[in-house]
Amino acid sequence: MLSAAKTEFLTIFRERHSVRHFDASHKLREQEIKELLEIAGSAPSSWNLQHWKFVAITDAAAKAKLLPIAHGQKQVVGASVTVAILGDLQANRNTEAVYRPAIQTGLEDAYAGYSSYPAMVAQIEDSYANASPTYRRDEAIRNASLAAMQLMLAAKAKGLDSSPMVGFDADAFVKAFNVPPRYVPVLLVAIGKAAIPARPSSRFPVEQTIIWNGFEPDADHM
């Protein structure tokens, strides 16, 4: 038997859907937005490097600036806040700041499974210097996407709704919001009170999404 809290948690997953019409009169306090972003930032990340920054767009002028960049998607104006989730292309630069407390307290076992801090740093730097050309971007996008998902679930848990959006001009966003080259825009997430419920969406039956223990050789999988 699942406890009531666990059942509620699963309900949050099932009931999260993309709302496109928000109640524009609904405001979120700065503290409420911070709390959502703190939960978003508790997402896991490679080496705990926390490859995300959140541009929180709350004021009317900034929302108006965002509207054409988001191809006129009105969620960005109606939502209480639209968070632009940025991925960090140079997250290796976070290593010292992330691990300084562990180094200072001499915590054993704190270095993501490595034998020592230098061993971990060497691995991180090697990955950022020598891995495939897409590595930095892949890392930025995959890790920031986990934070984005947590943000949407946190919003739902607090009785809010959200709308993820990749329909925006990332280059224009970078220019308009002065994003430094270190960061890549990953996703916009509009958050607020729904004015019109999300339209229904379906999913493939789970059986269609699972491949047990690997594909058959030469599988031409649909």
Ligand X SMILES: Cc1cc2nc3c(=O)[nH]c(=O)nc-3n(C[C@H](O)[C@H](O)[C@H](O)COP(=O)(O)O)c2cc1C
**Which residues are at the interface with ligand X (CB under 6 A)?**
17-18, 20, 73, 164-167, 187, 198, 201
The residue among 110 and 198 lying less far from ligand X, judged by its C-beta, is 198
The pair of structure tokens assigned to 128 is: 């950022």
The residue among 65 and 90 lying less far from ligand X, judged by its C-beta, is 65
SS3 10: helix
Give the nearest residue (CB) to ligand X: 167
| Host H or E run for residue 176 | helix 170-176
Q: What is the dihedral of CA 46, 40, 77, 71, to 10 degrees?
A: 20
Compute the least distance from the CB of residue 17 to ligand X, in Å: 3
Are residues 92 and 49 in contact, defined by beta-carbon separation less than 8 angstroms?
A: yes
The residue among 61 and 166 lying less far from ligand X, judged by its C-beta, is 166
Compute the least distance from the CB of residue 56 to ligand X, in Å: 19
Compute the least distance from the CB of residue 31 to ligand X, in Å: 27
DSSP3 helix / strand / coil % (the chain, rounded to 5):
45, 15, 40
Please, what is the Cα angle at 111 between 107 and 116, to 5 degrees?
Answer: 85
The residue among 20 and 53 lying less far from ligand X, judged by its C-beta, is 20
Residue 84's nearest CA partner among 56, 43, 42, 51 is 56
Compute the least distance from the CB of residue 30 to ligand X, in Å: 26
The residue among 149 and 176 lying less far from ligand X, judged by its C-beta, is 149
Compute the least distance from the CB of residue 185 to ligand X, in Å: 12
Displacement of CA 155 from its chain's centroid (Å): 12
